Each structure stands twice: as C-alpha cells, then as structure tokens.
Structure 1
C-alpha cells in the first residue's frame, strides 16, 4: 500500500515510525479511549489509515524530529573528522601508496627467504665437493644476507599489524556510546510521535466511525393453519375391505353334470335280446 510520508521524514526513519505505530496498536488495550480498537475498526484498518496519514501524524513531532536529525548529523561529522587524521598523515595515503607498501611488506620476506634457502643449499652442496669451487663461499654469504633480509621483512610486517591494531582500537574508543545524546534525541522523537501523533489519530479514527449495529434477527416464517374440514385425522384407521359380492350381479355360473348313457343301450338298429 502506498504510504504518504511527511516531506521532512527521511527514508531511513520510516521504519522507525512504523515500529512506533505497531507498538501503539499492539498495546491499544492499555488505553481506555482505544478499547474499541478491533471492534469498530480492525487493527489492519487502523494501521492502513495511519500510514496514509503519516504526514499529518509526524508533523505533530516536527520539533523533536529536527533535533534528532541535527544531533545525528553532528555525530556523523565528528566520526568523519576523527577518521581523517588517522589516515592522512602516512605516506601510504598517496596515490597507490597503500598498494605499494602492502606488496612490499608481503613479497619482501617471501622472496628474500626463498633466495636465502636456494643460495644456502647450493653453497653447501658445492662445499662438499673436493676440491670446492671458489664461489661456494660467496653463495653461502649471499644466502645468509637474504636470510637476514627475510627476518627484517617479517619484523616490519609484524610492526605494521601492531600499529594497525592500535589505530583501530583508538577509533573504536572514540565512537559514541549507545547511551548518548543521539539515543536520547531518538527516544524523545519516538515519544512525541506516539503521544501527540499516533494516539490522537487513532482516537479520532475510532470516534468518527459509528459502532457496528447488531445483525437483525432472521424473520420467523409461520405456516398458515389448514382450512376447516381438511384437518387430518390423528391416528391410523384400518383398511376398508369390501366383500367380493358387493357391486356384482347375483348371477352365478352353473355347471351341469355330463350326460352319461348306460352301456346297455345301443343303436336303434340293434335291440337287446
């Protein structure tokens, strides 16, 4: 979300303002006039409204903020002025001076030590020959010389590390302590923003928002009573069975027995004797 920032509020101080606002919203229950925070307006809504009104809120603490910025700038100027003499008085601060000194300090002992080892080994091997060459003693002498150069280079490098450590220690001692004028100025600005800017804004935002009305109860739908004469009977009645003869005619089917004739009767052509 876009945040309107006061013209005098620097970018590096915006996060500090948001922390003050978040602390006020987190501890809203400690203020009786902010008891409705979270009911009339949610915490997210209040935070968004306050961020959009940052210019208005921070203007209430403009005096404390200007003092805080001025003190901070003065301390930064003092630190820059203290660090400048520590590095300006050495030849290494010339163009390329620091690089040359560092290369010489590192390479001189290394190269001198390597040369010393080579000359001493070659001179010792030549001294073992019979007869020994005339320049064997010269090689041994050169080896001893480069060995002394390597030792001197190591001592120089150690002294440089010691001086650098002492210089850094002096710079750290001159740095301002946490509990100084800058810390007091920052705390005064935070308190002014909270008491004269954030809290009044939250109170006004809650007061300008009407309380939420309780939801209306759902209407009760009542079914109309059934019309008279169509009230169903309560209980059960037995099924109404009718006789199979009801509604039918009295005519019943008749059956006749078959007409059997005696075997003694024959055809008219033949009479019994």
Structure 2
C-alpha cells in the first residue's frame, strides 16, 4: 500500500477522520489559529471544505496511517487463520457432522415419542371406555405409557447433551488476548492509532482550517479541494507549474497580416469608359 501521494482512508477509518474533524471544530476557540471561526466561515462551511479535500488533508499523516493499517492487519491475521484452520480441518468436519446428527436426534426423538404416547394413550383409554371394552385397549394404554417414559428420557438426554456441548465449546474457545504476544500487539495497534490521530489532527486538519480562515478569498464557493495559495503548509505534494506556450521564447513575434488591395473592375482612370 503506497500512501505517499493522496491518502485514501479505508471505509472503517473514515468515521474516525470525521470525528477528529468535529472535535477540532468544537475546540476551535481554544486554538489560536482558529479563533476567527464564525466571523467569515462557520463550522459547517469549514467541515464541508475539509471533507471535499480529504485526500489532501489525510496525506499529511500518510506514513502514520500506513503503519497503523499494517499493525492492525498483523493483529487480525492470527485470529482469522486459526478460525479458518479449525473450520477446514478434517477433525472439525467430523465433529460438525457428529454434532449435527446428535442435534437432529435430540430434537426428533422427544417429538416422535411424545406423539406416539399421545396417540396410544388416547386410543387406549377411548377403547377402555367402551362396553364391553376390547382386549387390546389395555395394550394400547401400556404402549402409550411406555412412549411417555421414552419421551421423558429423550428430553433428559437432550438436556445433558446440550450442557456437555456448551462446556466443551467454552473450554475450546480461543481468546486472542490470552495468546502469547497478543497483548503486546494490541498495545502497538493502540499506539499506532494514537500516532495517526495526532498527526492527522496537528499536521492535516488544523493547518487546513487555519489556512482557510486566514485566506480572505476562501469561502463556500471555493473550488474543491481548496488550496490556500501561499498559506497552505507543505503536506508532501507540490503543485505543477503551468506556463503559457509562448512564454520564455525570446524574440517571438505574432504573425502580421496586411489587407489586400481591391479595385473596382470598371475603374481605369478618367478617360476609360466601360464598353
């Protein structure tokens, strides 16, 4: 990633840039260079100008931002690799398949057994209420109570299985902050982020606002990105030099033209008459 010219922030870092800008505008009365805020340009106008020139402003802290993004990527890489490895490993695939089958059985067994218990008990007691009662009515009632007991056992087994699964997943959970070197890397990311924020505020946002307030030609209608000529601090770029194509060519003269002479075809002197 090369950010030596125009620095383009990642999407996740743009809100932080806007927060720094809002903080600078809110604390403008405490800064000597921003004391004129509100006299000619208000906060909303200055905010719009900075956002229009965001590439120019963020380029002032390009080096710090590049370091911050690099360190943050290094912190995220081990966690992403461990998750990817655990998902793609054969053991994980087998465990996932086993857990899926167990979950299906844990759900279906109580439902099927309970349904059978209700059917057998309902049919058995209806038949036993008849007069005379059929002999297999008692058999249906006995089968119904058997499935009812089976339903209770399936529910208990499912609860125990869920508890064991939760305990096993809790013991295997990976905490990035507990890994060796994780805390040090997190501290380095925090330091890199603070360094980028400080550089962006002090070398980018505040100088831009000061230059805009100091230039009487700057205003809401100024072209974007706004550049206050002669007052904008050096942000790591130089404006191109433009010269007229004729400039610097000594002795160059513009082409001269003379109008042609026209005479009437019938005019040939006082003694000449047309035929």
CA deviation profile, 1:212-250 (whole Å, cap 9, x unmatched): xxxxxxxxxxxxxxxxxxxxxxxxxxxxxxxxxxxxxxx
1:203-242 to structure 2, matched below 5 A, reads 203-209=210-216
Match in the other structure for 2:204? 197
The more displaced of 83-92 and 64-73 is 83-92
1:153 has 2:154 as partner: yes
Q: Using the TM superposition, give the Cα deviation of residue 105 of structure 1 relative to its aligned residue in structure 2, in angstroms.
A: 3.0
Structure 1 equivalent of residue 113 of structure 2: 112
Q: What TM-score does the superposition give when structure 1 sets the normalisation length?
A: 0.58
CA deviations over 1:237-267 (Å, ceiling 9, x no partner): xxxxxxxxxxxxxxxxxxxxxxxxxxxxxxx
> What TM-score, normalized by structure 2, do the two folds share?
0.58
Q: Match of 2:15?
A: 15
Q: Give 3-state SS (helix, strand or coil) of 2:80's partner.
A: helix
For structure 1, the 5+ residue unaligned runs are 212-273
Q: Partners in 2 of 1:172 and 1:27 — Cα distance?
A: 44
Structure with greater proportional helix content: 2
Deviation at 1:146, TM superposition (A): 1.9
| Cα distance, 1:193 vs structure 2 | 0.8
- For 2:161 and 2:93, locate their aligned partners in 1 and report how far apart those are by CA, in whole Å: 12
5+ residue gaps, structure 2, are 219-275
Please tell me whether the aligned partners of residues 7 and 58 of structure 2 are also in contact (alpha carbons under 8 angstroms).
no
Q: Distance in 1 between matches of 2:172 and 2:17?
A: 31
Residue 153 of structure 1: how far off its partner (Å): 2.5
State the superposition RMSD in angstroms. 3.9
Question: Aligned runs of 1:23-172 on 2, under 5 Å?
Answer: 23-84=23-84, 85=86, 89=92, 91=94, 93-94=96-97, 98=100, 102-124=103-125, 126=127, 133-136=134-137, 138-163=139-164, 165-166=166-167
- Select between 137-146 and 168-177 the one with higher mean Cα deviation: 168-177
Contact kept, 8 Å, 1:40 with 1:210, in 2: the verdict is: no
Q: Kindly tell me the number of residue pairs found equivalent between the two proteins.
A: 204
Q: Distance in 1 between matches of 2:129 and 2:121?
A: 13
CA contact (8 A) 1:58 1:197 kept: yes
Q: Deviations over 1:79-124 (max 9, x none)?
A: 4345453896264745x984x6555433321221121133234445
Displacement after TM superposition at 1:158 (Å): 1.9
- Tell whether the 8 Å contact from 2:7 to 2:59 is kept in structure 1 after alignment: no
Stretch deviating more after TM superposition (138-147 or 61-70):
138-147
